[in-house]
């Protein structure tokens, strides 16, 4: 489903019409927060596996969900997927990136311009069913073993229960955005806005509704979602790395 169709569905919901029932076992839902239309997808360690993925079949960055699907071991088992952090003009990650236990880019602690360098930035990472988010400096100081997957992005949205100190309550910079937060039960919450939203409002959803002590911004303007449970696979500008949430063998959307 293209973004225009998704926006139509949100408009129908906002007008009070009955929302169509989601497909069985769907892991994503449409929500409204402070008049902003969002899609919220939940990964549960008891039900899902998370991987990072970058390449297409030819060994180069896939750049799209369609090309990514061709190189996944079992694309029919995808619960949902989302773009997973910032990247260079060739689609390669600009920050720490680990895929299947292989480090493909080192931790980036440089200063600079842009959202990635609006510090603190952070790392979303995990091994098995243990998923975490830490600021980059905290990650560097406390994580010694390489995780199975990791992606670095920035800025952090929520840090130890508090909003990023650089955010206004509802600033003038409003874009389509996506991010991830991990709650106290260890579940990972992935959110993409369906209309432009400020950093402050986006971060408040993670803090006030999802109650994630730490949450990380993944990207803006280019943000895209693949949600097989609702027949949605966004197709926009070329992307970089992806986060793929997989469902156990035999669980069909």
Tell me how many domains the chain contains. 1
Query: Does residue 35 fall inside a structural domain?
Result: yes
Residue 252 lies in a domain: no
**Cβ atoms of 126 and 148 closer than 8 Å:** yes
Instruction: Report the C-alpha dihedral over residues 56, 180, 31, 211, rounded to 10 degrees.
Output: 160
pLDDT value of residue 249: 64
In a domain, 251, yes or no: no
- Residue 5 belongs to what H/E stretch? helix 3-14
Model pLDDT for residues 172-230, shown as the tens digit of each residue: 889 999 999 999 999 999 999 999 999 999 999 999 999 999 999 999 999 999 999 99
Q: Whole-angstrom Cα distance, residue 218 to residue 18? A: 32
Q: What is the pTM of this model?
A: 0.89
Average pLDDT over residues 90-113: 97
Please report the pLDDT score of residue 3 as a whole number.
55
Which domain range does residue 11 map to? 3-246
- Is the per-residue pLDDT at 54 higher than 90? yes
Does 253 reside within a domain?
Answer: no
List all residues 6 or more positions away from 253 whose beta carbon is below 8 Å from its beta carbon. 23, 24, 25, 26, 79, 228, 229, 247
Q: Is residue 121 situated within a structural domain?
A: yes
Per-residue tokens: 253: 């959307």
């Amino acid at each position: 489903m293209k973004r225009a169709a998704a926006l139509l569905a949100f408009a129908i919901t906002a007008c009070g019409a009955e929302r169509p029932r989601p497909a069985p076992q769907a892991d994503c839902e449409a929500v409204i927060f402070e008049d902003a239309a969002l899609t919220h997808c939940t990964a549960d360690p008891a039900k899902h596996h998370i991987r990072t993925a970058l390449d297409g079949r030819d060994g180069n960055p896939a750049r799209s969900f369609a090309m990514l699907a061709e190189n996944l071991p079992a694309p029919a088992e995808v619960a949902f997927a989302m773009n997973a952090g910032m990247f260079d003009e060739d689609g390669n990650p600009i920050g720490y990136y680990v895929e299947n236990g292989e480090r493909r880019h080192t931790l980036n602690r440089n200063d600079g311009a842009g959202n990635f360098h609006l510090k603190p930035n952070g790392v979303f990472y995990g091994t098995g069913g243990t998923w975490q988010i830490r600021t980059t400096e905290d990650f560097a100081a406390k994580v010694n073993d390489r995780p199975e997957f990791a992606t670095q992005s920035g800025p952090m949205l929520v840090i130890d229960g508090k909003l990023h100190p650089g955010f206004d309550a509802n600033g003038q910079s409003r874009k389509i955005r996506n991010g991830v937060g991990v709650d106290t039960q260890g579940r990972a919450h992935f959110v993409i806005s369906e209309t432009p939203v400020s950093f402050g409002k986006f971060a408040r959803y993670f803090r006030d509704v999802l109650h994630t002590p730490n949450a990380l911004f993944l990207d803006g303007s280019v943000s895209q979602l693949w949600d097989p449970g609702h027949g949605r696979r966004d197709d926009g500008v070329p992307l970089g790395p992806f986060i793929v949430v997989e469902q156990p063998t035999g669980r069909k959307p």
